[in-house]
């Protein structure tokens, strides 16, 4: 069998088409639509972020891809393998780090990784247990019982289990929750290296700054619906807003009238905050107006639109629609 070449590799690592999941009503309650016709394409080799509030449908989507939850309708493919008709190939192409620990406490990390590799049919000569344990900082605990590991160490072991069979798609479901800063940095260094070498990464996280830094493309899901999916820069550009905070060298009791048109706000006696749309107003115009008002600047800072801004705006809008 010939090895894959760039020409034969799939364009998309993950594809879903009108994917839906409905849970039946319980005790007279309403039917729960966890996913509502989600169509999504994740390009091969991307670092893809899937964001949304708790209960938005992120974990349901991931569990369907992993084969843990059965879809109600629609279709999903991993590495061009249909998750139902080509289940074995699809599952081999994906590694998932779940939110909840699922580790046998009476195995050592080394034993767990060897077992996991065996479940994927990897010959002993091709297993990378020691390499993966080193990558997640568990080499010294390789032969300790899993029950003796701290919560953070168990989280690392979950990451290692997902990596052990070298999947084409690595899904990280809140991987850095409860993880210290040093481990988070170490984890992302390794995951970025995997991504550079061709592994497609799908990340869910509540750390929006983390997603903004790591992900080249971001999708936002809320109430089971996909409400945004764009390259990160384009998504941020949806908010045409910027803030400039000017610190004056002397106290100011009232704002000069020529600054009112820039949506200026006096905070305290020396701080003036300008909120403006960069597409219509540039910072030079504001600085010129400050100079024309006879004010002197002691310090100046600006704040660009952040992922948190667009996330809150979009989810608030869909919350109102759903309500």
pLDDT at 311 over 50: yes
Q: Is residue 286 a contact partner of residue 262, using CB atoms and an 8 Å limit?
A: yes
Cα–Cα–Cα angle for 240, 283, 250, nearest 5°? 125
pLDDT digits 0-9 by tens, 259-287: 999 999 999 999 999 998 888 899 999 99
Residue 274, judged by CB atoms within 10 A of its CB (0-12, 13-18, 19+), counts as buried
pLDDT at 82 over 60: yes
- Two structure tokens written together for 109: 């990390």
* pLDDT score, position 292: 95
**Strand ranges of the sheet holding 47-51, from the earlier edge strand across to the other edge:** 94-97, 169-173, 200-204, 47-51, 217-222, 225-231
67-81, 118-132, 179-193, 227-241: which is most confident: 67-81
Q: Is residue 184 a contact partner of residue 176, using CB atoms and an 8 Å limit?
A: yes
Strand partners, 274: 244, 264
* pLDDT score, position 2: 41
Q: Is residue 51 a contact partner of residue 205, using CB atoms and an 8 Å limit?
A: yes
Confidence of residue 291 (pLDDT cuts 50, 70, 90): very high
Q: Which domains does the chain possess?
A: 242-304 (3.30.70)
pLDDT at 257 over 90: yes
Q: Taking the model in full, what pTM does it have?
A: 0.78
Our measurement of the distance from residue 275's CA atom to the centroid of its chain's CA atoms, rounded to an integer in Å, reads 28
* pLDDT score, position 151: 77
Confidence of residue 75 (pLDDT cuts 50, 70, 90): very high
* pLDDT score, position 178: 66
pLDDT digits 0-9 by tens, 129-181: 998 898 888 999 999 999 998 877 888 888 889 989 889 999 998 887 767 77
**Sole residue written with tokens 């034969």:** 8
pLDDT at 1 over 50: no
Cα–Cα–Cα angle for 130, 132, 136, nearest 5°? 115
Rounded average pLDDT over 117-137: 88
pLDDT at 215 over 50: yes
Average the pLDDT over each of 32-46, 196-210, 305-319 and give the range with the smallest value: 305-319
Confidence of residue 7 (pLDDT cuts 50, 70, 90): low
- Two structure tokens written together for 61: 């989507």
Percentage of the chain beyond pLDDT 70 is 97
Rounded average pLDDT over 196-214: 91
Mean pLDDT of the residues in the chain: 89
Task: Tell me which of 240 and 143 has the higher pLDDT.
Answer: 143
Rounded average pLDDT over 296-301: 95
Confidence of residue 29 (pLDDT cuts 50, 70, 90): confident
Rounded average pLDDT over 55-84: 95
């Amino acid at each position: 069998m010939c090895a894959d070449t760039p020409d034969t590799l799939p364009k998309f690592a993950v594809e879903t088409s009108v994917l839906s999941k409905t849970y039946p009503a319980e005790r007279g309650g309403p039917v729960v639509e966890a996913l509502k016709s989600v169509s999504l394409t994740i390009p091969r080799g991307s670092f893809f972020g899937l964001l949304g509030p708790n209960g938005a449908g992120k974990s349901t989507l991931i569990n369907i891809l992993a084969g843990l939850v059965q879809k109600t309708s629609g279709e999903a493919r991993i590495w061009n393998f249909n998750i139902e008709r080509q289940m074995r190939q699809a599952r081999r192409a994906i590694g998932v780090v779940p939110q909840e620990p699922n580790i046998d406490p009476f195995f050592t990390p080394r034993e767990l990784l060897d077992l996991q590799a065996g479940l994927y049919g990897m010959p002993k000569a091709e297993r990378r247990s020691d390499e993966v344990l080193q990558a997640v900082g568990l080499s010294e605990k390789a032969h300790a019982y899993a029950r003796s590991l701290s919560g953070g160490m168990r989280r690392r072991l979950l990451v290692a289990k997902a990596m052990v069979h070298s999947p084409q798609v690595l899904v990280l479901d809140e991987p850095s929750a409860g993880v210290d800063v040093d481990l988070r940095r170490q984890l992302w260094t390794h995951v970025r290296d995997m991504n550079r070498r061709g592994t497609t990464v799908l990340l869910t996280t509540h750390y929006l700054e983390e997603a903004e830094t790591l992900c080249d493309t971001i999708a936002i899901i809320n109430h089971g619906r996909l409400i945004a999916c764009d390259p990160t820069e384009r998504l941020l550009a949806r908010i045409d807003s910027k803030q400039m905070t000017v610190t004056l060298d002397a106290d100011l009791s009232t704002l000069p009238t020529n600054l009112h048109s820039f949506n200026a706000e006096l905070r305290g006696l020396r701080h003036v905050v300008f909120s403006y749309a960069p597409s219509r107003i540039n910072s030079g115009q504001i600085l010129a107006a400050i100079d024309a008002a006879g004010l002197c600047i002691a310090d100046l800072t600006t704040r660009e639109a952040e992922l948190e801004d667009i996330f809150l705006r979009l989810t608030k809008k869909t919350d109102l629609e759903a309500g």
